Amino acid sequence: MTDHRATPEPDPADPLSADALGRVPEWLRQAAPEAEPTRLERWRIGLARHSGKLLGGAVAVLLLACAGVVTTVGYQGYRRWQAAPVAYPTVSPPSGEQAVTSASPPPATGPFDGTPAAAFPQGAAGIALPRAKRTGPFTEKQVADTLAKVRKALVTARLDRAFFTAKNPERLVRQFAPDARADLRGDVPSGEVGSYATRLAPGARLTADQPRVKGRISYRATKDPRGIRILAVTTNFVWAYAFPTASTEPGDGVVVVHDTVVWSVPHPDDVRRGSLGLWIEKSDSYASNIDCAAWDKGLLALGKPSFGGPVDPDPDAVFDPDKTLDLPDTC
């Protein structure tokens, strides 16, 4: 699970300098794992998670042999290896106003067939905003404006193909408060950007199919550790991407990313001009069916074919935004 360190918090509107105050909250960091991709079954929940922003883990894999022969197992084949259903813990929705994905999915034809993502809406249609209303010190208009900023950032970060392959992250970075931008730019070379945005690995490409999206958005008024009033918006989404593959097994070309991000906008009366705008307080994510070496660098690519059958819980868990992000790693 990746826990993106929060972007430094907005500077209060007082005469003290930023150096005197420092930036809060501090980024939560943890080094990413150095393990090379193992011989994983393609739809064994091949998860790499970020914590701090990029946290990896490894879980043991059992190789199954039958008459001395092992076979490649796709999504449906993976399900057949299960001995019994295992329930993952679910997460509780945060308090406050919220909205969940409600758009109807397109006809299920193509790379998502045979997976839960076939029932998800396409692209931005899967991002539903809750009703804006006055919340704490924030007016209805301020809430509506904040939700619009968050939705635009989500579309850029997870659905904008030009951003996926751009040499720099400015298409997304410029949507944030000026004081937040330097740290966000630094997330690209560090690989930490993967906890809240999609960047394709060199040579990786998507099919023409729009990504499938499912999740929810909620918001509430609160205060940061220095007492600055903020409107915190929590997003929790599953993003399913289709990559070209020669495999005919359902889901073999689908990469899934599940993230939760806490975005915030400070009250304009509490901060200086440079701190007005969007910030990231925290982000967590994991991914499935990925190239682990690329993921460790914050980049997305389809995983390599693997062999053997796993002993692992429900593979559908990676498609469910209500499941915990604390799932087993196989990277």
Residue 275 forms beta bridges with which residues?
none
Look over the chain and give the mean of its residue pLDDT values, rounded to a whole number. Answer: 77
Q: Tens digit of pLDDT for each residue in 80-136?
A: 333 344 444 556 666 666 777 666 665 556 899 999 999 999 999 999 999 999 999
Percent of the chain topping pLDDT 90: 58
Query: What is the total residue count of the chain?
Result: 331
Distance CA 291, CA 55 (A): 15
CA 275 to chain CA mean position, Å: 25
Kindly report the number of other CB atoms within 10 A of residue 23's CB atom.
17
Distance CA 316, CA 331 (A): 18
The domains of the chain are located at 18-319
| pLDDT reported for residue 325 | 81
pTM higher than 0.85: no
* Helices assigned H by DSSP within 196-300: 292-295
Q: How confident is the model at residue 216 (pLDDT cuts 50, 70, 90)?
A: very high
pLDDT at 312 over 70: no
- CA dihedral of residues 292, 262, 275, 13 (deg, nearest 10): -140
Q: Tens digit of pLDDT for each residue in 182-206?
A: 999 999 999 999 999 999 999 999 9
Q: Tens digit of pLDDT for each residue in 219-232?
A: 999 999 999 999 99
Closest CA to 196 of 208, 214, 184: 184
In a 3-state reduction of DSSP, which class is residue 214? Answer: strand
| pLDDT reported for residue 309 | 40
